[in-house]
Structure 1
Amino acid sequence: MNLPAEDYRCYNHPDREAYISCQRCERLICPDCMRDASVGFQCPSCIAEGAKTVRQPTTLAGGAVSGREGRVSMILIGINVAAYVAQLATGDRAGDVYQQGALQAYVTADGDYWRLLTSAFLHGSMLHLLFNMYALYLFGPFVERALGTARFVVAYLTSALAGSIVVYLLADPATVTIGASGAVFGLFGLALIFLLKAKQDVRTLLVLLAINAFISVAGPNISWEGHLGGFVAGVALGAVFAYAPRDRRTLVQSLAIGALWIVMIAAFVLRTMQLTP
């Protein structure tokens, strides 16, 4: 490049002398604009343009890869613990937090619809809380890593709601139900599908599921309905997330999740009509 001396100026900083050309666009660049490239240097504009053509990594389900895996799972654990502390601080089962948040079909049908979700953040005892939070600690980050942040939050809340809906449909309407078990069993279902998709050994998980299924049915004061609803929702969501066509994955996943919510809402409306005069 043969230019008059006064024309050797950086294209981005005309007041600065420049004697190096960008390897991509061949414009002159000053030291502040030099960006290391595989060969020589490139200017900031070419670096930015090149970055647009690089495919960004995605999760198994097509979500954005988070730089802090497991963060949402830890936040959920914190919310559950905080809710339990608030429950104890306000009188436990006799206090407002428990009384206004626990799921009881007759009261819910009378207009307290929020109980379908708030009940998933309350617990009956410290042991109950510890069991659920330990399961969330073990399985949450794995599922979160496979889904990405947004999809994980949607899956967790959908599983929690599905567990409550099945309780609402099948349990004695006078029964009071609390706990994150529906959401946790949803994580079990999601993890099972993802492991099968990856052709991993699922025997340990199946044994864990069998033990939990037995406890759910045989144990006293355990909501097998909530466990069943959460697990079925988790399996359904896992299948959608893992096997949706890659070229229209987000659309298929959104439609499937929307359809699941419509089914749950319809079931809730029908059951509410049965419970209210």
Structure 2
Amino acid sequence: MEPQSGLPRCYRHQDVETGIRCTRCEKPICPQCMISASVGFQCPDCVRNGSGTGHAPDANQPRTLAGGRVASDGRLITKILIAINLALFIAVQVAGDRVVDELSLIGYAYNPALAEVVGVADGEWYRLITSTVLHQEVAHFVFNMLGLWVIGGIVEPELGRIRYAALCLLSGLSGSAFAFLLSPGNQPSLGASGVVFGLIGAWAVLTRRQRLDMRPVILFVGLSLLLTFTRPGISWEAHIGGLVGGALVAYGLLHAPRARRNVVQYAACGLVLLIDLGMVLARSAALT
């Protein structure tokens, strides 16, 4: 929609009016997005896709909505995450339950084979992260990897690699921490669902930030939550924890004022990390 001034809005920053257009695709671009070329300016998409080879080598690097660098491969971190999940999935198929027993999320339980207590409350905090890249069943693995590929492909290019990696890490941790807080201590869980739901939350925040149509996102979130609470054997705690954690991190990343962007973004990530830490410490104290 054109603003009343008659100027179009930047195709990546819907709250910024501009009279500048990309010399190749003619999309409106604001000063933050325009990249110097041999003639005029080009948009980040044209540069990312290899169309913008005419800009000077020392030209200002294009920035994502969150302030990160625009990368040529907008799914690199997503690919790395899928590769890690795939490697552990193969390890589970080869080694069996041994890998699952060592890496899945479990709060506090007695292991008769080892004659000891195991779990997060027993000091094995690594389980909060390793469980988020661990799968046992083929359908579970495929479904989560599909969600990571599709939604990650939407979110990663708009955040940049470092911020996107932080979002995925904190989303997975938030899902694990919330599941650890509310689930029975001896109930194991695993899977990348917390990360995927964190990306869903980030996608909703991103869509709102870009002032795009929210109805497809709302429908997708509604269907995802419906499956979460109607299918048996689903850790709804991990889904909700990841969804809320991802949305909070994404809001801090995408709505940070430019003048204090880094400080606000660090603070937002730190706040979510502290909340997760608080849940883990509280539950550990209750179990032990």
Contact 2:129 2:173 in 1 (8 A): yes
Q: Which has the higher helix share?
A: 1
Alignment of 1:192 with 2:194, yes or no, is no
Q: 1:233 aligns with which of 223, 241, 245?
A: 245
C-alpha distance in structure 2 between counterparts of 1:51 and 1:153, whole Å: 27
Q: State the aligned residue count.
A: 225
Q: Which residue of 1 aligns with 2:107?
A: 105
Q: Which residue of 1 aligns with 2:65?
A: 60
C-alpha distance in structure 2 between counterparts of 1:56 and 1:110, whole Å: 47
Q: 2:179 aligns with which of 153, 164, 167?
A: 167
TM-score using structure 2 length: 0.75
Q: 2:161 aligns with which of 149, 163, 168?
A: 149
Q: Give the 5 Å matches for 1:249-260.
A: 249-260=261-272
SS at match of 2:185: coil
4+ residue runs over 6 A deviation? none
SS at match of 1:58: coil
CA-to-aligned-CA distance 1:182-213 (integer Å, 9 cap, x gap): 00000000011111111111212211211111
Q: Which residue of 1 aligns with 2:229?
A: 217
CA-to-aligned-CA distance 1:51-72 (integer Å, 9 cap, x gap): 76x5321100001111211111
Q: Give the 5 Å matches for 1:16-35.
A: none
Alignment of 1:247 with 2:259, yes or no, is yes
C-alpha distance in structure 1 between counterparts of 2:189 and 2:146, whole Å: 20
1:143 Cα shift? Answer: 0.9
Q: Which amino acid aligns with 2:275?
A: V
Give unpaired runs (5+ residues) of structure 2. Answer: 1-37, 40-55, 109-118
Give unpaired runs (5+ residues) of structure 1. Answer: 1-36, 39-49
Q: 1:115 aligns with which of 104, 127, 142?
A: 127
C-alpha distance in structure 2 between counterparts of 1:65 and 1:51, whole Å: 15
SS at match of 1:175: coil
Structure 1 window deviating more from structure 2 (204-213 vs 224-233): it is 204-213
SS at match of 1:67: coil
CA-to-aligned-CA distance 1:27-83 (integer Å, 9 cap, x gap): xxxxxxxxxx88xxxxxxxxxxx976x532110000111121111111111110111
Q: Which amino acid aligns with 2:83?
A: G
TM-score using structure 1 length: 0.78
Percent identity between the two aligned chains: 35
CA-to-aligned-CA distance 1:7-39 (integer Å, 9 cap, x gap): xxxxxxxxxxxxxxxxxxxxxxxxxxxxxx88x
C-alpha distance in structure 2 between counterparts of 1:193 and 1:78, whole Å: 27
SS at match of 2:233: coil
Alignment of 1:87 with 2:89, yes or no, is no
Q: Which residue of 2 aligns with 1:201?
A: 213
C-alpha distance in structure 1 between counterparts of 2:128 and 2:207, whole Å: 30
Q: Which residue of 1 aligns with 2:76?
A: 71
C-alpha distance in structure 1 between counterparts of 2:273 and 2:104, whole Å: 21
C-alpha distance in structure 1 between counterparts of 2:228 and 2:84, whole Å: 25
C-alpha distance in structure 2 between counterparts of 1:235 and 1:68, whole Å: 24
CA-to-aligned-CA distance 1:147-195 (integer Å, 9 cap, x gap): 1111111110100000000001111212111000000000000011111
SS at match of 1:104: coil
C-alpha distance in structure 1 between counterparts of 2:184 and 2:264, whole Å: 36
1:216 Cα shift? Answer: 0.8
